[in-house]
C-alpha cells in the first residue's frame, strides 16, 4: 500500500516528486481516477473543486476519469478503480466520504485495489484511514456539525488502518482559525495521536512506514 496523504493536493515540487517516485512512470503513461464524493456534501460555491480538477488534469495523464461513489453499480465502481494507476480522492466532508464507502460496501474492495495502486488523498480523502474517525473524534476535533449535517450521530471508520488522526489545513488562509492555539486546544482534549499538517505537507505511508514530506509546517500530538 502506497499512500500520499495531503492537505491540499500536489501544491509543491516535493509532493509532485513524491508522486512521480511512487508511480514509477511518467504521468502521461498513467491512468488517474478522481473521486469528488466528499465535495458533494459541501454547500456553496464549488469553484475550488473545479480549480483543483483543472490543476490536476493539467499534469497530463493518459486517462483522467471522474468517479462518484454513490448511485453507480458497485461492480462499475470497482472496475474503474482497477483501471486506474492512481486513485485520487478529493476534499470536502470527510464524514460523507466515509459513510459513502461503508454504505456502499466498498471498504474491503477499496483496500484490495490499493494493494498495487498509488493513492493520493486531499483533506477529507486523507482523513478516512484512521480507526479514530468516529463520533468521539468529531467531538474532540470540534466538527460534529459536519456529521450531524448528514443526519447522523454515529460513524464507522471505513478502513481503520492507523491509530493516528490527520487534521489538514493548519495555518491555512482559507481556515484562519486553524492556528497554534486551535491545535493546542484540540491536543489538550485528545486521547489519540494527531498529525496537524499545512497545505504544503503530506504524510507518505508505504509498507507500514510513515514519512512526513513538507515544504511547510506540521505538528504532532503527543
DSSP 59-121: TT-SEEEE--SSSS-HHHHHHHHHT-SEEEE--S-HHHHHHHHHHTT-HHHHHHHHTTSEEEE
Check whether 207 has a pLDDT greater than 90: no
pLDDT band at 23 (very low <50, low <70, confident <90, very high): very high
Per the rule left: phi > 0, alpha: psi between -120 and 50, beta: everything else, 68 is beta
Q: How far apart are CA 121 and CA 139, in angstroms?
A: 23
pLDDT band at 101 (very low <50, low <70, confident <90, very high): very high
Q: Between the CA of residue 159 and those of 20, 95, 97, 99, 174, what are the distances in Å?
A: 25, 13, 12, 11, 28
Could you list the residue range(s) of the whole structural domain that residue 147 is in? 2-221
Check whether 211 has a pLDDT greater than 90: yes
CATH for 145: 3.40.50.880
Query: What pLDDT score was predicted for residue 208?
Result: 83
Query: What pLDDT score was predicted for residue 76?
Result: 97
pLDDT band at 163 (very low <50, low <70, confident <90, very high): very high
pLDDT digits (tens, 9 = 90+) for 42-99: 999 999 999 999 999 999 999 999 999 999 999 999 999 999 999 999 999 999 999 9
Domain count, the chain: 1
Average of per-residue pLDDT across 90-117: 97
Q: Calculate the CA 64 to chain-centre distance.
A: 18
pLDDT band at 152 (very low <50, low <70, confident <90, very high): very high
165 half-sphere exposure, CB direction, 13 A CA radius = 21
pLDDT digits (tens, 9 = 90+) for 170-204: 999 999 999 999 999 999 999 999 999 999 999 99
3-state secondary structure of 40: helix
Q: Calculate the CA 118 to chain-centre distance.
A: 13
Amino acid at each position: 500500500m502506497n499512500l500520499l496523504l495531503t492537505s491540499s493536493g500536489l501544491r509543491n515540487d516535493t509532493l509532485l516528486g513524491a508522486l512521480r517516485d511512487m508511480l514509477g512512470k511518467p504521468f502521461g503513461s498513467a491512468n488517474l481516477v478522481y473521486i469528488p464524493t466528499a465535495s458533494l456534501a459541501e454547500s456553496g460555491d464549488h469553484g475550488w473543486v473545479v480549480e483543483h480538477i483543472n490543476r490536476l488534469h493539467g499534469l497530463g495523464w493518459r486517462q483522467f476519469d471522474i468517479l462518484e461513489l454513490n448511485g453507480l453499480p458497485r461492480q462499475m465502481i470497482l472496475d474503474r478503480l482497477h483501471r486506474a494507476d492512481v486513485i485520487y480522492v478529493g476534499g470536502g466532508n470527510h464524514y460523507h466520504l466515509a459513510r459513502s464507502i461503508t454504505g456502499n460496501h466498498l471498504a474491503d474492495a477499496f483496500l484490495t485495489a490499493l494493494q498495487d495502486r498509488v493513492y493520493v488523498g486531499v483533506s477529507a480523502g486523507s482523513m478516512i484511514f484512521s480507526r479514530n474517525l468516529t463520533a468521539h473524534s468529531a467531538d474532540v476535533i470540534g466538527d460534529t456539525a459536519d456529521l450531524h449535517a448528514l443526519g447522523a450521530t454515529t460513524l464507522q471508520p471505513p478502513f481503520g488502518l492507523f491509530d493516528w488522526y490527520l487534521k489538514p489545513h493548519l495555518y491555512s488562509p482559507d481556515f484562519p482559525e486553524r492556528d497554534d492555539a486551535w491545535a493546542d486546544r484540540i491536543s489538550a482534549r485528545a486521547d489519540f495521536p494527531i498529525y496537524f499538517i499545512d497545505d504544503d505537507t503530506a504524510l507518505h505511508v508505504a509498507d507500514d512506514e510513515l514519512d512526513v514530506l513538507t515544504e511547510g509546517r506540521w505538528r504532532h500530538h503527543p
